Amino acid sequence: MKLKNYDELLDLINKKNIKSVFLVTGKKSYKTTGAEKKLSILLQNCKVTRFFDFEVNPKLEDVLTGVKLLTKEKSELIIAVGGGSVIDVAKSINVLINYDNNQYMDVIGGKLEKLQTKLPLIAIPTTSGTGSEATHFSVLYVNKKKYSVADQSILPNYALLDSELTYSASPYLTAVSGLDALCQSIESYWAVNSTEESRDYASSAIDISLNNLKNAVNGCEISKNAMSEASYLAGKAINISKTTAPHAVSYPITTHFGLPHGHAVAITLGDFLVLNNKQETECNDFRGKLYVQKIMNELYQKFGVTNAEDCRIAWETFVEKLGVNINKNDNHLHEYSSVNKILDGVNTERLSNNPVKIRKNDIIKIFTQ
């Protein structure tokens, strides 16, 4: 459920008679975004336990530290205030606290039919990108390998969008966060698991992002407000459809080369705008090649072009104007050792959700040609 404002959040806390809150935040962003000032007043009558001892790409060990703290404090409500990693950590804690240590990898690996969560969870994003406040999965890393814990119970019970919390973000963070939302919505639109509902969410998110992201990067508050909504809609879209090949390839790029997630996804999205339109490539989507071509043509039109190659150029131009470098050579992704690391870390589940089959050789060519 989407909360309209902080007054609704306070009403919720009072109605549920919440006396103890487990607050998951970023290390510095909680203060720099202005969230601390707003929430300290709102939560002044509650016992607040703040947890922020985790990395940007959260590890299982980080989450388990939070599980121990939540168990000790016996909180009644979880509030996550931050970017996608913060919200994902809160989601993961809320799940893993219900299981023994010998079950953790079963939970993370998707071996259990249905998962349980412990407490109501409110997500308040401070970036406009991941859409984690609207999705039923959370990302964490085990031995540098990315896992996505997925279950409908993980979806936050409430989301509060306060775009003012994104105003202090740097131009680069605004750009790469917004690119994540845009890539999510584009991938959702062409995904094998897409539905009419998910495409409606995705289409709106694409249009809002293309019209507002550049101005948001340049500091326009109206456009930053719009990007908060675009991120939420992109989250709603992938909550149904999940993501595809660009995300599948992006995870090892982030893990091994330190590029933020949105930056990593943007690097290959242009390549897949072309690959997904190749008629000689085997189709993954049960709706067939003509359907996939129709969807791709609709995406090209959103960029104001009529074919795949022009759309790749339009994409690269759009990203460059945001000040984000997606040149693979500049990012050292074309080197033999780099390509092997990327191949080893590709998420096969996301790859299978791509509308056409992507093989190992396709990924090699993306980075070396």
Q: Are residues 91 and 179 located together in one domain of the fold?
A: no
Q: Is 125 helix (H, G, I), strand (E, B) or coil?
A: strand
Which CATH number does the domain housing residue 197 bear? 1.20.1090.10
Q: Are residues 22 and 36 located together in one domain of the fold?
A: yes
Q: Are residues 251 and 131 located together in one domain of the fold?
A: no
- The pLDDT value recorded for residue 50 is 98
Q: Are residues 137 and 214 located together in one domain of the fold?
A: no
Cα torsion angle, 328, 257, 132, 136, sign: positive
For range 298-323, the mean pLDDT: 98
Structural domain total, the chain: 2
Residues 6+ apart with CB under 8 A from 143: none
- The pLDDT value recorded for residue 1 is 85
> Which domain covers residue 235, as residue numbers?
170-368
Q: Are residues 174 and 157 located together in one domain of the fold?
A: no
Distance between CA atoms of 67 and 70, rounded to whole angstroms? Answer: 5
The two beta strands, 2-3 and 158-160, are parallel
Please say which residue of 134, 164, 194 terminates a domain. 164
pLDDT above 90: residue 192: yes
Q: Are residues 272 and 189 located together in one domain of the fold?
A: yes
- The pLDDT value recorded for residue 369 is 83
Task: Quickly list DSSP for 130-152.
Answer: --GGG-SEEEEEETTEEEEEE-G
pLDDT digits (tens, 9 = 90+) for 218-270: 999 999 999 999 999 999 999 999 999 999 999 999 988 989 999 999 999 99
Q: Are residues 273 and 205 located together in one domain of the fold?
A: yes
Please say which residue of 144, 164, 184 terminates a domain. 164
Q: Are residues 243 and 332 located together in one domain of the fold?
A: yes
- The pLDDT value recorded for residue 144 is 78
Q: Are residues 158 and 191 located together in one domain of the fold?
A: no
Which CATH number does the domain housing residue 24 bear? 3.40.50.1970
pLDDT above 80: residue 279: no
What are 79's two structure tokens?
A: 């509030």
Please say which residue of 104, 138, 164 terminates a domain. 164
For range 57-86, the mean pLDDT: 95
Q: Are residues 36 and 59 located together in one domain of the fold?
A: yes
pLDDT digits (tens, 9 = 90+) for 84-120: 999 999 999 999 999 998 899 999 988 988 898 889 9
